[in-house]
Every structure is written in C-alpha cells, then in structure tokens.
Amino acid sequence: MSDFVSGFWSVYVALITLVSIVGCAMLLWSQGKARTNAAGQSDTTGHVWDEDLQEYNHPLPRWWSWMFYITVFFGLGYLAVYPGLGSYEGSFKWSSRGEYEAEMQQADARYAPIFAKFQGQDLKAVAADPEARKMGERLFQTYCAQCHGSDARGAKGFPNLADSDWLWGGEPEQIKTSILEGRQGVMPPHGHLGAETIKDLAHHVRSLSPDKLAHDAARAARGKEAFASAGCAGCHGPDAKGMQALGAPNLTDSIWLYGSSEATVSETIAKGRSNKMPSHKEFLGEAKSHLLAAYVLGLSQAGAGGK
C-alpha cells in the first residue's frame, strides 16, 4: 500500500476486508437457525417442484458450520499478526520485502567471502579457475541465458558469446564494462536513400563476406561507392571492419547478428536496428559481475579456435 499517496486507500482496503469477514460470519449465524411456522413445523423456502416437492429451510450441520466459523476466526487472527489491512504491518511486522532482504543478508554472509576472493584476482586467472567457472556458469544460466541461450551461442539479435567476435571489444575490462554498465547499439535507418541504393548496399555488404554470398557484381560496385558517400564508413570504417567504440559490427566476416539474406540486410539498412544490453551493476554488483565476466571471457577463449 506504500505506492498510494493517500491514506484513504489504506482505510478503504481495511474496511472492505473487515466488513467482508464480519459479513460472512453474520450470514453464517443467520443461516444456522431452524425456521418454523406457527404450527411448529419447519418452514420452507417456497420452492415447489412437481406440484408437491418442496425445499425445506433446514440449517447447515453443526460440524460444517463450525468449520466455517474456524476460517473466520483464523482470518481475523491472521490479519492481526500479518499485513493485510491496508498499510497495517501486523504485530509480527512481517513483509515479503523484509523476508527477501533477510535471505539476501544470509546469502551475503555465506558467499561474500568467496566472491571477494575472486574479485581480487585478475579476470584471466579467474577464468582459468574451475571453481570460479562453475560459479560463473550458474550466474550465467540465471541471469544471461534468457537472451544469449544456455550454451551462450546467442540467437537472432543476441550476440554469440562463445566465439571471438566482439561488438564492443573482447578484452577482460571491456567485457566487464558491458556487464556492469550495459550497452546501447543503434543502427540508424537509411530509408531516405531509396530502394535501389539500399539494394546496391545490400549486395555490396554481402560481397564482403568470406562465405562468398551470392551478389550482383554491378550492384555491389555501385553499393561500394554508396557505402562511402552515404556515411556507412563513418561507423563501420572505410574497410568495413567495424568500430568497437561504437558497437558497429565487422561487415567482412561471416557473423551475422540478424541474418545474411538480401532481404534481411536490406531491412537492416532501410529500417535500422536498436539493441540494448541492460546494466547489471545495481542488480549483481561488482563481485558477481567480475565472476560473470571471467566466465564469458573463458567461453570466448575456448571457442576462438572453432569460429
């Protein structure tokens, strides 16, 4: 209830809750009495079927009624000791946030010395430590696999972390910075160039790949001129090998973040792309990010030869 700026809502919720519980108890009490007519016979509800089949108004069995009464008493007792009545904290002062913080304090007391031990070591040394790799893998599976995959090989729009190709640099500190601070990669749209020029550029980009992707030589030649004049070289470099300071990818290798088809490359040029790697500094902290960076570094070193 702390999200509400007015105390009215706290009182409103508390009243609705209490009135509902008390109302249930009153209804149960009113239905627990046998109703009789002037002759001392049980009254009926007035419902009649098949001319003479009547529904009598008999009370619930006592054992059943007491089960409902017990739930009412339990509900009132629960609300007295635990939060549930608006902003009232309950006599136990329990909260899910407090429970979480207590568990985190226990975890920090137990694991902080281990994290601190590795935090003081060089990232390459941590990457080579078997215990650190296991801890880093668990962190990766918990916080990173949703985007980069359980095998860290990425997916469309999410980089492969198990090879030696890096958008923002693969040095230990660059990897750690990516985790701590996050990254924002933007390919601006170039729809203003027109469909023909965009197609020429797509053929030029495909011609740069060592995979010898099919392309039209004439269009590729025109695309090479457009690559320089349209400003593409400003980010990807005159040799199209990219610029890690901007997160601009190397266009002369066989790695494609969104796909290498002519249609996909043309779409990227025309509409642009926007990718964000969120910051994990506040969430994971320095020590865990250090272990995670070492694990990713180890993945890259292991996969560098099989790229």
Q: What is the pTM of this model?
A: 0.71
Which of the 8 DSSP states describes residue 18? H
Q: Is it the case that residue 91 has pLDDT exceeding 70?
A: yes
Q: What confidence score (pLDDT) does residue 305 get?
A: 43
The CB density around residue 31, as the number of other CB atoms within 10 Å, is 13
Band (pLDDT 50/70/90 cuts) for residue 185 is very high
Give pLDDT, residue 307: 31
User: To the nearest whole number, what is the mean pLDDT of the chain?
Assistant: 90
| pLDDT grade for 42, boundaries at 50, 70 and 90 | low
Mean pLDDT of 161-178: 94
Give one DSSP letter per residue of 205-273, joined into a string: HHHHSTT-----HHHHHHHHHHHHHTTTHHHH-TTS--BTTTTBPPSSSS--SS--SHHHHHHHHHH-E
At position 28, the amino acid (one-letter code) is L
Instruction: Show the beta-strand stretches assigned E in the chain.
Output: 44-49, 53-56, 183-187, 273-277
| pLDDT per residue as tens digits for the range 221-271 | 999 999 999 999 999 999 999 999 999 999 999 999 999 999 999 999 999
How many whole angstroms separate alpha carbon 167 and alpha carbon 170?
8
Cα gap 109→97, rounded to integer Å: 18
Contacts of 70-76 with CB under 8 Å at 24 or more apart are: 72/21, 72/24, 72/25, 72/28, 75/21, 76/21
Query: What domains are there in the chain, each with its CATH number?
Result: 8-81 (no CATH), 105-182+278-306 (1.10.760.10), 186-277 (1.10.760.10)
pLDDT at residue 112, rounded to an integer:
87
Could you tell me if residue 30 is left (phi over 0), alpha (psi between -120 and 50 degrees) or otherwise beta?
alpha
Rounded Cα–Cα distance for residues 219 and 213 (Å): 14
pLDDT band of 304, cuts 50, 70, 90? low
Other Cβ atoms less than 10 A from the Cβ of 12: the count is: 14
Please calculate the CA angle 6-12-15 and round it to the nearest 5 degrees: 150
CA 272 to chain centre: 24
Residue 3 pLDDT: 57
> pLDDT category, 306, cuts 50, 70, 90?
very low
Closest CA to 128 of 299, 287, 285, 286: 299
- What tokens does 132 get? 């650190």
In this predicted structure, what is the pLDDT of residue 39? 61
How many CA atoms, within 13 angstroms, populate the side-chain half-sphere of residue 291? Answer: 25
